[in-house]
Amino acid sequence: MKSQKKNEERHQGNRAATERMRAARERQRTARKRGRQLKVGGVVVALLVVGGGVGALVAQQTSKGGGADDAKPIAVGKRDAPATLTVYEDFRCPACAQFEEQFRGTIRSLEKQGKLRTEYHLVTIIDDNLGGRGSHRAANAAACARDAGRFRQFHDVLYRNQPPEQEDAFSSGKQLIALAGKVDGLDGPRFRECVDDGTHKDWVKKTGADFKKSGHQSTPTVLLDGESVYGKSEPLTPASLKKKVAAKS
């Protein structure tokens, strides 16, 4: 009996040791896999099922391993573009709409040419100062559009249809969904659920908090490769923006 008991204990010990070795190998494989994922540069490929069809979405990230809920900016343009435009905007901000009206065509053209990558930090300064939820809800909806690969189009639609600053129209999910109807392929069950549920509300809070910590005081704040280029003593124009970007090539 004692011999049998010792054998059983030895077998149990061997099994425990085997399990520990297996767990260690699994941790090593997970660590190697995580390292490879980080090296990819944060490009996430997801398959979306929309209306019974399958589409491919490539969500561009702005840093290694970063996602929308990490308070990273939303990027438009090629990752290897020689110049990066950083834009801090609030969808309720009239000055932001003026900036977009003046520079939208130039920025989009430079992006298409592969000369410029634009990184948008969506902030909530108007909600914070005047009250309301329009800045928050519009930013969340824009992140939902990003999930669907339609951020740039929806971003531009929001500014083209911006309500007066004192009107908190963007706080209405119905209004945001109605505007999504102006973007081909955006409005649908997934987008509506994302808007209504506030899927990216934590990301919106983080981007707002990061803006307050950044030292920037107003929107829009526009930086070209880290240097402020808008609202200075020497006015920025579409032509001068092109010239500055060309100098980076």
Residue 55 has pLDDT above 60, yes or no: no
Least confident of 171-175, 222-226, 230-234, 236-240: 230-234
Q: What is the dihedral of CA 123, 127, 128, 130, to 10 degrees?
A: 140
pLDDT confidence of residue 12: 52
- What is the C-alpha to C-alpha distance for residues 130 and 217, in angstroms, rounded to an integer? 16
Question: How is residue 162 annotated by DSSP?
Answer: P
Q: Rounded to whole angstroms, how far apart are CA atoms 115 and 242?
A: 10
Which is higher by pLDDT, 73 or 5?
A: 73
CA 206 to chain centre: 12
What is the SS3 assignment for 235-249? CCCHHHHHHHHHCCC
Averaged confidence pLDDT in the chain: 80
Per-residue pLDDT of 141-183, as tens digits, reads 999 999 999 999 999 999 999 999 999 999 999 999 999 999 9
pLDDT at 16 over 70: no
Q: What values do phi and psi take at 41, rounded to 5?
A: 95, 15
The pLDDT of residue 71: 82
pTM of this prediction?
A: 0.72
- Distance, CA of 72 to CA of 67 (rounded, Å): 7
pLDDT at residue 47 greater than cutoff 60: no
pLDDT tens track for 93-151: 999 999 999 999 999 999 999 999 999 999 999 999 999 999 999 999 999 999 999 99
